[in-house]
Every structure is written in C-alpha cells, then in structure tokens.
Amino acid sequence: MSSWRDALVSSSMTLRQTIEAITAGNLQIALVVDAQNKLLGTITDGDIRKAILAGKDLEITAAEAMRKNPTTSAASTPRAAILKVMRERRIHQMPLVDEAGKVVDVLTVDDIIGAKQKSNAVVIMAGGLGTRLYPLTQDTPKPMLNVGGKPILETIIQSFIDQGYVNFFVSLNYKAEIISDYFGDGSRLGASIKYLHETTRLGTAGGLSLLP
C-alpha cells in the first residue's frame, strides 16, 4: 500500500520540504495540492534534479518547480487502461483523482502488475557499432533505433522492469551520450541506471570488467 498522503505538499512549501515528502511517500513523486487536496501539479526526483542543474536552490517553492496539468486518472478506470496510458506517456506514477480533482490515491506500475522488485542487477551491453545496420546506425546507436514507437533499449529495459528488475548497468561506447542523455539515471522509468563507459572496444562481454 502506497504512502501517498505523505507525498502531499502545498504550493508554498520549499523544494527542500518537497524532497522530504518524496522520501516519506516512497513513490518518487510529490503531489502539490491546495487546501482541499485538489491536485495542482507534481514533482518527481527528475524534476528536482533539473531544477538544481538549472541553478535553482532548495528554498524555491513547490509551485515554481512543479509540473502543471499532470496526467491523472479516475479511480474507477480499469487498471489495464491506466497501465496503457502510463506506458504511452512514459510515467511511473499515476495520481488518481475524484470528480472534483482531489487526490484519492497514487498508482505505480508495480502496483498494477504486482511485480516484486528483485535486488539482482541487470547488465546490458549497448556499446556496439551496429555495423550490420548501417546506414541506420550512422547517426543513431543501434539500441536507440526506434521500433514500435520507442527505442529498442527502452523496450528491453521496460520488459525487465515489468519482471521486477529495477537496477541496471548499461555498457556504452559508440555515441554513448545519446543513450545516457535519453535515459538519464532511469528515474523516469522507475529504475536506477548506471553506465559503464568503454573507452576502447572491449568485445562482446568486455564491459563486465568495468562493473564496480
């Protein structure tokens, strides 16, 4: 059961207090609400990092950092339909609201699919040149080729997340920045992604030597 009430913050609370609420709620998101619990916006771990990188300090208000008009769902919506929207919009949390827009719960992907998180780390080798797919890979690394509306690597990572794996190491070489810029630290997908940077070609499983 989620502790979504612990993740509620007012628009006047500071970013520092918002971080505390995210930690308390354990959902990787804070819900910015008014006095009647009507949802005004959301703030995720990723939003906080963006604010800090933009030079903002921890004393700015939640209203300054929040995402307005977040995706929401009615509590009565079938879970399969909610999951479909979450997949399409690439979000890991879905606030549930009533007819007045008041928060009544928060669902995560794990809540819906019932996956038990596993501690095992997944290592994905994504540093190849993709020579056999040239010229498709001239400007785009093979893992980032778009298939089914999203990069191949995202489909692979998402399939592991659906099975409860949330800790990833991705070995990079060719056009590494395209992959790391897209996925970041993985929080958008509800996962943790760390990168192994191959400075030279290490072969099929050579990236394993870079594991901490």
Q: What confidence tens digit (pLDDT) does each residue in 134-158 have?
A: 898 999 999 999 998 889 999 999 8
Q: Does 105 lie in the same domain as 16?
A: yes
CA distances for 201 relative to 14, 38, 171, 198, angstroms: 46, 53, 11, 7
Sheet of 118-125, strand order = 118-125, 165-172, 192-197
Residues 126 and 72 in one domain: no
Residue 1's pLDDT is what? 46
Q: Which of 113, 146, 176 is the last residue of a domain?
A: 113
Residue 163's CATH number? 3.90.550.10
pLDDT of 55: 92
Q: Can you give the pLDDT at residue 3?
A: 81
What's the total number of domains in the chain?
2
More confident residue, 79 or 2: 79
**Same domain, yes or no: 49 and 126:** no
Of 73, 88, 113, which residue is a domain's last? 113
| Whole-prediction pTM | 0.56
| CA atoms of 123 and 160, how far apart (whole Å) | 11
* Alpha helices in 106-151, H assignment, sequence order: 109-113
Nearest Cα to Cα of residue 180 among 153, 209, 210: 153
Q: Is the pLDDT of residue 2 over 70?
A: no
Do 145 and 110 form a contact (C-beta atoms < 8 A)?
Answer: no
**Domain final residue pick, 113, 140, 155:** 113
Which structural domain, as residue segments, surrounds residue 139? 118-210
| β-pair partners for 194 | 169
Query: Above 70 in pLDDT, residue 178?
Result: yes
- The secondary structure of the chain in percent helix, strand, coil, rounded to multiples of 5, reads 35, 30, 35
pLDDT of residue 200: 77
Q: Could you tell me which of 115, 135, 137 has the C-alpha nearest to residue 126? A: 137
Mean pLDDT within 18-33: 94
The confidence band for 40, taking pLDDT boundaries of 50, 70 and 90, is very high
